[in-house]
Structure 1
Amino acid sequence: MKNIDKVQNLLPLGYLFLIILGITKDSIFYYQIGINIIKYSSIMDILISPIAAVTSHPVFFITILLLFIFYYNLPKILLKNEDKKWIHKFSGITKTDTELKQLSEEEKLNCYTTASIKSLSTFLISLFLGYGIADGKFLSEHIKSHKLHYNYKLNYSDEKSENVYIIGSNTAYYFYMSEGNSAIKIAPVGSIKNLELIKNRMLDK
């Protein structure tokens, strides 16, 4: 029970950590295409950045979900497999066998919980930063080589429209590129009437 209470007490700090990771990921991604995303972000964008990042791709979402499930159960796994050194090394346990034997079961569980949180934090940093770098590099290379697919039709409030590639969006702006134009455009959400998905790879088969 105390182990669960410890995790619950860390949740606010954990979400703050995820907010920092989310903003950092977005900053790295947009920096590679010449945009300072912080300038175009509201407080709401910053607060929901972890959720937006995690749900941006099914694979990323599943990876994060599995990581949290695994690391939530890791302290108990470590406690049941104290004789398996490779698990301890993998989890970053620094205490020696002698030191661990002197601890009570509850103290061991606390030790394993702390190690699990540190290990999870390291994995999350690697994932978010790696995703931001890789995604930004992939997009910038596609822009330079003119390999973008203009799957959306953007209809403006003044009844004009154009085919576009949507780079991203937040609560206030759309970031996109128009077909036949190499410039990245930033438009307020209020200036856009709607978006049409004209090339749907899931349905156009």
Structure 2
Amino acid sequence: MKYLEKIQGLLPLGYLYLIILGLLKESILFYQLGINILKYSSITDILISPIADMASSPILIIIIISVVLFFFIFQVIIIKNREKNWSKKLLGSYKINPESDKKELQKTLIPIFFLLVSIELLALFVGLGIGEGSIIKKRIETQNLKYNYTITSESNEPVDIYMIDINSTYYFYVTKGDKHIKIAPVGKINDLEIISRK
């Protein structure tokens, strides 16, 4: 029960870390496009950014769960095989006494486990921000965009656009034949239609 209570106590810190990672990813992505995303984000956008990222990409959820499971299983294998030479060498390299009992080893390895998971998640989110930002920037420069929405603004003129992102107050998009990113308040767009993907 104490172990579960400790995990429950760490959950808010874990969510705060995910929020920071979501902000970092968005900032890196939009920085490459010349936009300071924090100026266009509300508190709600910041709080839901990690959940929105994970919900929009099931692969990201699978990767995060896989990373956590991998490090957890690795920790269990090390503890079970603490008497073997390879485990003793590995634990010795981290200055951990392999002769400790199971509970003592678990207490020692849990902070290392969380540190490894947090570093892996940091690398994942930063990599996603750099990768997505550079891909979008390159596609805008070469005009190699798949226009995925049609918007109708106050002028009632429908326009095909490539939607970069949407938050609670702004649309970020590129219109067909243009290399400049437009930022439109949600209230200025009358209609948003998904272009059929055949």
TM over 0.5: yes
In structure 1, give the amino acid aligned to 2:86. K
Deviation at residue 69 of structure 1 after TM alignment: 3.3
Distance in structure 1 (CA, Å) of the matches to 2:104 and 2:179:
60
Distance in structure 1 (CA, Å) of the matches to 2:88 and 2:158:
57
The worse-fitting range, judged by mean Cα deviation, of 68-77 and 187-196 is 68-77
Aligned equivalent of 1:65: 65
Matches within 5 A, 1:7-22: 7-22=7-22
Q: Give the total of aligned pairs.
A: 197
Counterpart contact for 1:167–1:175, Cα < 8 Å = yes
In structure 2, give the amino acid aligned to 1:186. I
Deviation at residue 115 of structure 1 after TM alignment: 1.2
Distance in structure 1 (CA, Å) of the matches to 2:81 and 2:173:
51
With over 3 angstroms needed to count, the CA separation of the structure-2 counterparts of 1:84 and 1:194, relative to structure 1, is: farther
Distance in structure 1 (CA, Å) of the matches to 2:168 and 2:147:
22
SS in 1 for 2:106: helix
SS in 1 for 2:178: coil
Deviation at residue 55 of structure 1 after TM alignment: 2.6
Matches within 5 A, 1:136-155: 136-155=133-152
Distance in structure 2 (CA, Å) of the matches to 1:166 and 1:32:
16
Residues 105-131 of structure 1 deviation map (CA, whole Å, 9 limit, x = unaligned): 212111121111010011001000011
Counterpart contact for 2:146–2:162, Cα < 8 Å = yes
Deviation at residue 158 of structure 1 after TM alignment: 5.0
Aligned equivalent of 1:47: 47
SS in 1 for 2:144: coil
Distance in structure 2 (CA, Å) of the matches to 1:44 and 1:55:
16
Provide the TM-score with structure 1 as the length reference: 0.86
Aligned equivalent of 1:100: 98
Counterpart contact for 1:54–1:61, Cα < 8 Å = yes
Aligned equivalent of 2:173: 176
In structure 2, give the amino acid aligned to 1:85. W
Counterpart contact for 2:78–2:87, Cα < 8 Å = no
SS in 1 for 2:56: coil
Deviation at residue 59 of structure 1 after TM alignment: 2.0
Distance in structure 1 (CA, Å) of the matches to 2:47 and 2:72:
24
The Cα RMSD (Å) is 2.3
Distance in structure 1 (CA, Å) of the matches to 2:52 and 2:166:
10
The worse-fitting range, judged by mean Cα deviation, of 45-54 and 57-66 is 57-66
In structure 1, give the amino acid aligned to 2:41. S
Counterpart contact for 2:88–2:98, Cα < 8 Å = no
Counterpart contact for 1:177–1:185, Cα < 8 Å = yes
Counterpart contact for 1:3–1:109, Cα < 8 Å = no
With over 3 angstroms needed to count, the CA separation of the structure-2 counterparts of 1:112 and 1:198, relative to structure 1, is: same
Counterpart contact for 1:78–1:112, Cα < 8 Å = no
* Structure 1 stretches lacking a partner, 5+ long: none
With over 3 angstroms needed to count, the CA separation of the structure-2 counterparts of 1:191 and 1:58, relative to structure 1, is: same
In structure 2, give the amino acid aligned to 1:118. L
* Structure 2 stretches lacking a partner, 5+ long: none
In structure 2, give the amino acid aligned to 1:153. T
Aligned equivalent of 2:86: 85
